[in-house]
Amino acid sequence: MWWAALLSPPDESTPTTDVQQRLSTWALQFTPRVARLEESVVMEVAASTRLFGGRRALRDRVVLESAELGCTGLAWAQNSLAALCLARAGQENANNRQLAPLLSALPLDVLTATRKHATTLSHIGCKTLGDLRRLPRGGVNHRFGAPLLVSLDQAYGDIPVAHEWLVAADDFHARLELMARVELAPALLAGAHILLLQLCGWLTARHSGVTAITFGWAHDTMRAKHVEATDSLTIRTAKPTRNVDHLEKLLAEHLAHVKLQAPGGEVMLSATEVVRLEQHSASFLPDVVNRGESRALLRERIAARIGPENVQRPILCEDYRTEWTQHWLPLDRQPPKRKAAPPPFPAPTCVLDTPLPLTVRARRPHFHGPLKLLMGPHLVEGGWWHRVGDAAHQHHRHVRRDYWLAHSPQGGFLWVFKERGQAQDQWYLHGSFS
C-alpha cells in the first residue's frame, strides 16, 4: 500500500478544518480511500498509480496541486500513520524507502501518543522512535499504557490502522477568504483557482461534469449603503466539463467585464448544473483502433509482425463432443463455408484440456462440496471416425457420456459428465460457465 499524508497549516490564520475540507474533497479524485487523521488528510493511492500515469506523475501532480490548496507538508509511506509521522518531520519519502529505519530516526514528537509522555521519556534517554521501540514492551505498557504501544505498532505497520472513509457530498458549495481585499475583479481569480481545483476533484469523484457554475464574492463591510453584501455571476459551458484550465479561462473572460462595486474579501463557488459524464470503457486493443483503424487492418499488422500462424481465431465445428466443438484456425486459413449448428444443450465457456475426476460420495459427485444437478442428462455419443496415432498404435476418440449442468457452492455452474457403460459411477468435471 502507498499512502500520502497532506498536512494542514498549524497556524490560526487559516482554520485547519477549512483546509482539510478542501484537501479531502480534492483528494477524492485520486482514490475513494480518503480519510482525516488528526491535522492531516491521508489517502491510499497504490491502486491509482497506473490511472494517473505512474507513481512519479501522480506524485508530481499531488505535490503541485496540494500546495495550492494550502497543504504545508506531504509524505509517502506504507501506512497512513507512518506517512503522517514523516510529514511532520519534513521527510517526503517519495522513493518509498524501507520504513523501519526512517521511523526509528525520527524524534518522538512526530507521534501524537508520545507527546504527553515527552518529559518522562526524555529523562530515561529516549529521543527517537527507535529508542522507544527498543525499550522492554512490558515496562512501556506498565508505565505509559497500552495506547502508546498500539500507536507505535501502527506506525511501523505491525497492526493496521482503521479509518472512516470520506464520501463526496451530493452537491458542491465552497467558500474561501482571500489573503487581502481586492478592488479589481480579475484579481479574484487567485481565489477562484483554488475553488476550481476543489470543484474538479469533487466532479471526478462523482464521475460528473458541469454545464453551469456560479461564482460569487463578498463585498467589504465598509461598503456604501446601496451596495449589496454579495454579488455573483453564472457561467455556462457548451458541453459538460471538469477541466480546471478551461473553467478558469472561461471565468477570466467573464471577470474581465465585471467592475466591483466595493472591495472583495471572500469568494464562493457552486456547481449549478451537474451532468453525469459517460465513461468510456478501456480497451485491450491499441489506441489506433479507437482512432478509427479497422480491426481487419490491425489483425494484418499483427500477423505480419509475429507470423500468421500465431494469430488464430475460434471456429465452431459440427461435433457435439465438448473438447472438439471448437477449433482454432490460423488467421489466413479460410473456415468451412457451412456453419455449425449450436448444440442443443448449454455450452461451457471454459473447457478443461483433460477432464478432472471428481470425488463421489453416496453416488453424488463433489467439487468443493456436493454438486446439485440442475439439467440433464444430455447424451453425447460419437467419435468412432476420429482416429489418432500411427498405423501401429491407432486409437479412436469415441465417447459415450451423460452430461449435466451442475452447481457447486464454491465453484459456481459446472459442466460434468459420467461415462456410460462403466461398472461404477465415475464423474468428471469438463468445463465451467462464467
SS (H, E, C) 24-39: HHHHCCCCCCEEEECC
Segment 294-347, tens digit of pLDDT: 667 777 777 777 877 788 877 777 777 777 777 778 877 776 666 666 667 777
Average pLDDT for 171-178: 93
How much is the pLDDT for 255? 93
Distance between CA atoms of residues 221 and 263, nearest Å: 9
Cell digits of residue 283: 480497451
Closest CA to 324 of 249, 388, 247, 233: 388
How much is the pLDDT for 394? 59
Distance between CA atoms of residues 240 and 257, nearest Å: 24
Checking if the pLDDT of 161 tops 60, the result is yes
Segment 64-120, tens digit of pLDDT: 999 999 999 999 999 999 999 999 999 998 788 889 999 999 999 999 999 999 999
Residue 418's region, left for phi above 0, alpha for psi from -120 to 50, else beta, is beta
Checking if the pLDDT of 289 tops 60, the result is no
Task: Give the start-to-end residue ranges of the domains of the chain.
Answer: 3-155, 173-276, 345-432
Q: What 3-state class would DSSP assign to 408?
A: strand
Instruction: Name the helix (H) or strand (E) containing 413.
Output: strand 412-419
How much is the pLDDT for 148? 94
Cell digits of residue 423: 461398472
How much is the pLDDT for 420? 82
How much is the pLDDT for 15? 52
CB-count exposure of residue 280 (10 Å: 0-12, 13-18, 19+):
exposed
Segment 198-253, tens digit of pLDDT: 999 999 999 999 999 999 999 988 888 888 999 999 999 989 999 999 999 999 99
For all residues of the chain together, what is the average pLDDT? Answer: 86
Average pLDDT for 180-186: 91
E-strand ranges in 184-252 read 208-219, 230-241
Specify the CATH architecture of the domain 173-276.
Answer: 2-Layer Sandwich (3.30)
Rounded to the nearest 10 degrees, what angle do helices 80-89 and 146-155 cross at?
A: 90
How much is the pLDDT for 176? 93
Specify whether the CB–CB gap between 271 and 171 falls below 8 A: yes
